[in-house]
């Protein structure tokens, strides 16, 4: 089963990811992330830092996803494991739709087409949502920010995310990231547990 965590920078997604590891330790989940689960991710981080052109950056994120799927996600799912990824394909759709605006004609269509047919769609995606002002106060000072972490970018990225949640209400669960980290983590851990148990029953039913 594949679970993904999404949200803008400063939404507390990485803290949530760390808490889930503890709260769900009895399920032995494979905790992973994008970018960075393989060496391709190191190149992505370099591209972000050096601000290479947006198409190079976007295709590197996609390359990172391909390597992540091949080396980490697919093998774990084949073993029947619970996989929890901090960011995944929706990050690309939400962020690169913004960075590629005016650079490719229809960024989101282009990005989705690049994933179609080989990516694995998550079973559930938890989207951490909060006011942009709050996200910005949680981030590092201006000078050390990645280029994504600007008010306008984050606003557009969060709006993109919300439109995906609206389009796929069965997959997305919106999480109020203004709640305390403990409450958020407990809520998400409980919801994953329910998914996992339901999935287990379904898998058993299929074997009969």
- If the CB atoms of residues 150 and 193 are measured against ligand TYD, the closer one turns out to be 150
Q: Report if residue 34 touches ligand TYD, rule: CB under 6 A.
A: yes
Residues with Cβ within 8 Å of 143's Cβ and at least 6 positions away in sequence, in order, are none
Radius of gyration of the chain measured on its C-alpha atoms: 17
What phi and psi values does residue 33 have, to the nearest 5 degrees? -155, 160
Chain positions 38 to 57 lying near ligand TYD, rule: CB under 6 A, are: 48
Distance CA(207)–CA(109), nearest Å, equals 38
196 CB neighbour count, 10 Å cutoff: 17
Give the shortest CB-147-to-ligand TYD separation in angstroms: 8
Q: Report if residue 125 touches ligand TYD, rule: CB under 6 A.
A: no
Instruction: Using CB under 6 A, pick the residue from 12, 29, 35, 107 that binds ligand TYD.
Output: 35
User: How is residue 144 annotated by DSSP?
Assistant: G
Q: Report if residue 146 touches ligand TYD, rule: CB under 6 A.
A: yes
Nearest to 58 by CA among 120, 115, 136: 115
Give the shortest CB-200-to-ligand TYD separation in angstroms: 29
Instruction: Using CB under 6 A, pick the residue from 40, 72, 82, 92 that binds ligand TYD.
Output: 92
**Interacting residues with ligand TYD (CB under 6 A):** 9, 14, 34-35, 48, 61, 87, 91-92, 95-96, 146, 148
């Amino acid at each position: 089963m594949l679970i993904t965590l999404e949200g803008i920078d400063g939404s507390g997604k990485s803290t949530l990811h760390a808490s889930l590891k503890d709260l769900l330790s009895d399920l032995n989940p494979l905790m992973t992330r994008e970018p960075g689960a393989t060496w391709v991710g190191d190149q992505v981080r370099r591209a972000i830092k050096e601000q290479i052109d947006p198409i190079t950056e976007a295709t590197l994120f996609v390359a990172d996803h391909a390597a992540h799927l091949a080396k980490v996600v697919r093998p774990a799912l084949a073993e029947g494991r619970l996989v929890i990824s901090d960011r995944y394909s929706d990050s690309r759709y939400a962020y690169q739709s913004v960075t590629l605006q005016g650079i490719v004609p229809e960024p989101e269509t282009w990005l989705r087409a690049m994933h179609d047919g080989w990516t694995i769609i998550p079973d559930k995606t938890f989207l951490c949502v909060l006011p942009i002002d709050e996200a910005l106060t949680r981030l590092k000072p201006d000078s050390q920010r990645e280029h994504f972490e600007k008010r306008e970018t984050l606003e557009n990225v969060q709006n993109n995310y919300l439109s995906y949640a609206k389009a796929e209400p069965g997959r997305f669960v919106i999480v109020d990231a203004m709640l305390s980290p403990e409450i958020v983590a407990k809520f998400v851990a409980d919801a994953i547990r329910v998914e996992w148990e339901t999935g287990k029953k379904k898998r058993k039913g299929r074997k009969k």
